[in-house]
Structure 1
Amino acid sequence: MDVRQLKYFVATAESGQVSRAATQLSISQSSVTTAIRSLETELNAQLFHRVRGGMELSDPGRELLASARSILRKIEEAKRVSQRPTEIAGTISVAATYTVMGYFLPGHLDRLAQLFPKLDIRLSELTRESIEEGLLSNRFDLAVLLTSNLSNPDIESETLFRSERRLWISNDHPLYRQGRATFEEIAKEDFIMLTVDEAASTSMKYWGLSGHTPRIKLRTSSTEAVRSLVANGRGVTILSDMVYRPWSLEGRRISTLSTDFMVPSMDVGLAWRKGQSMSPEAQVLYEYFRQIYLQPRGSQ
């Protein structure tokens, strides 16, 4: 048993799918599958039940998950002992969109505070349009947003990772048993449309290209409302893996399916004013994210 195997196991347990775990870890699905099989062989126990649309933890898997999380947490703590915080000091203004602020940044902010305790990161949550205006007027040094939504030629960006969009359905939905859905089938279902971060306009673009029209039952800015409605069988939606989790607030299960039409991914990354010379503080953040997401992962 090694740290890599535990890391892959935890990612699969938390995401509910091997493919999603592989995407998050920037590795191949076969690497995740091999690691899990090796763990199961070593422990002589089945850690997951392979179900249609994903992976569910078995009883031994649930027991291992708690231990694996504890081990990985202690390893991170041990790393921090040898990683002295840098002495860089200063203030940086960073803008972020709603989805990035809620589902991407929190864990990184904690890590940044440990690595750069004298760096004051001042965050602002705004729409993409407001962020672009703020970058161009030098109100913000850097932005973390959905680069797939950017269109201003005066803004430079670098995508850190791509989050696939899939169909979300309840586990007792008829489409769940098929394991895959066509846009023709999805168009016959009540569709729950998320509106934040231009999700609605993005959705209508790929719906238009598919040649079908969604039967929109509700438009909402609440991701939790979408999650609950889908889990309770009140409709379906198409959203990214980054905001997915396999249960609603009520504890009802949600599954995901691939579709017959290629839905564009939701890309997350950094943005700054074109031609801008980054300050030392901005360069620190830029390099931090690049090292995590863009460094070679072959050694994992």
Structure 2
Amino acid sequence: MNLRHLKYFVATAETGQVSRAANALSISQSSVTSAIKELEQTLDTELFQRTSHGMELTETGREFLASCKDILEKVDKATKLSRRPSELTGTLSLAATYTVMGYFLPYHLDQLAQLHPGLDITLHELNRESIEEGLLSNRFDMAVLLTSNLSNPHLETETLMRSPRRLWVPSGHRFARNGKATFKEIAQEDYIMLTVDEAAHTTMRYWSKTNYTPRTKLRTSSVEAVRSMVANGRGVTILSDMVLRPWSLEGKRLETAATDVSLPSMDVGLAWDRAAEFSPAMSVLRDYFHQAYVTPQVGPQHR
């Protein structure tokens, strides 16, 4: 048993599927499957029940999950003790969109605070248009946002991660059982439309490439409202894995399925004024994210 086994187990337990765990860890599904099998052989017990809906923890698996989290947390703390914080001091004005602020940045901000305690990052949550204007007027040094929505020629961008989009359905739905759905079939279901961060615009862009339109039952800027509506069987939606959580606030499960039309990924990355000179603080932020995505870590942004 080693830390790799534990990390793969936790990722699978929290995402509910080997495929989603593999995507979060940026490794192959076979690597996750093999690690879990080795772990179960070492412990001489089943940690998961394999079902058509994914991987369900057994009672032993639930107890083991709590121990794994405790172990990984202690290892993380011990690792941080060996890191010497940088002596960099400075300020950085950083803008981010709603989705990035809620589902991507918190883990990285915590890491940056521990690695560079002298770096003072001022955060601004705004929509894309306001962030673009702020970067070009020097109100913000850099931004972390959905680079897949950017096309301003005066901005430089670097994509850090690409989060695939999938169809979200309530647990046990026929699309989940089949593992795939056509847009013709999806168009016959009530559709829950997310509007925040230009999600509705992106949705209609790929729907327009089909001969169908979504039967929109609700338009909302709340990801949690979408999650609950889908889990409660009130409709389906298509969203990225980055905002996917397998349980609603009410404790109901949702699942995913593939579609017959290739969907664009939701890309997250950095942006800055093409004409700007990099300050030491900007370089530190950029270098941190380069390092973070050379060897991806298991953190909240991957769950």
Q: Contact (CA 8 Å) 1:193, 1:237: kept in 2 or not?
A: yes
Q: Which residue of 2 aligns with 1:116?
A: 116
Q: Which amino acid aligns with 2:48?
A: F
Q: Contact (CA 8 Å) 1:194, 1:222: kept in 2 or not?
A: yes
Question: 1:226 aligned to 2:226?
Answer: yes
Q: Which residue of 2 aligns with 1:90?
A: 90
Distance 2:15 2:193 in 1: 22
TM-score (norm 2): 0.95
Q: Contact (CA 8 Å) 2:164, 2:241: kept in 1 or not?
A: yes
User: Could you give the per-residue CA deviations for residues 103-133 of structure 1, whole angstroms, max 9, x where no partner exists?
Assistant: 1111111111111111100000011111111
Q: Which residue of 1 aligns with 2:178?
A: 178
Q: Which residue of 2 aligns with 1:278?
A: 278
Q: What's the offset of the Cα at 1:296?
A: 8.6
Q: Which residue of 1 aligns with 2:251?
A: 251
Question: 1:79 aligned to 2:71?
Answer: no
3-state secondary structure, aligned to 1:193 = strand
Mind listing any 5+ residue stretches in structure 2 that lack a counterpart? 298-303
CA-based RMSD of the aligned residues comes to 1.3
Q: Which residue of 1 aligns with 2:195?
A: 195
1:43-192 equivalences under 5 Å are 43-192=43-192
Distance 2:279 2:52 in 1: 49
1:282-293 equivalences under 5 Å are 282-293=282-293
Q: What's the offset of the Cα at 1:87?
A: 0.9
Q: Contact (CA 8 Å) 2:53, 2:172: kept in 1 or not?
A: no
Q: Contact (CA 8 Å) 1:53, 1:179: kept in 2 or not?
A: no
Q: What's the offset of the Cα at 1:5?
A: 1.0
3-state secondary structure, aligned to 1:210 = coil
3-state secondary structure, aligned to 1:112 = helix
Distance 1:265 1:250 in 2: 28
3-state secondary structure, aligned to 2:88 = coil
3-state secondary structure, aligned to 1:166 = strand
Residue correspondences, number: 297
Distance 2:55 2:149 in 1: 31
Mind listing any 5+ residue stretches in structure 1 that lack a counterpart? none
Q: Contact (CA 8 Å) 1:53, 1:256: kept in 2 or not?
A: no
Identical residues among aligned pairs (%): 67
Q: Which residue of 2 aligns with 1:7?
A: 7
Q: Contact (CA 8 Å) 2:26, 2:296: kept in 1 or not?
A: no
Q: What's the offset of the Cα at 1:182?
A: 1.2
User: Could you give the per-residue CA deviations for residues 32-54 of structure 1, whole angstroms, max 9, x where no partner exists?
Assistant: 11111111111111212222242
Distance 2:177 2:20 in 1: 20
Q: What's the offset of the Cα at 1:295?
A: 4.7
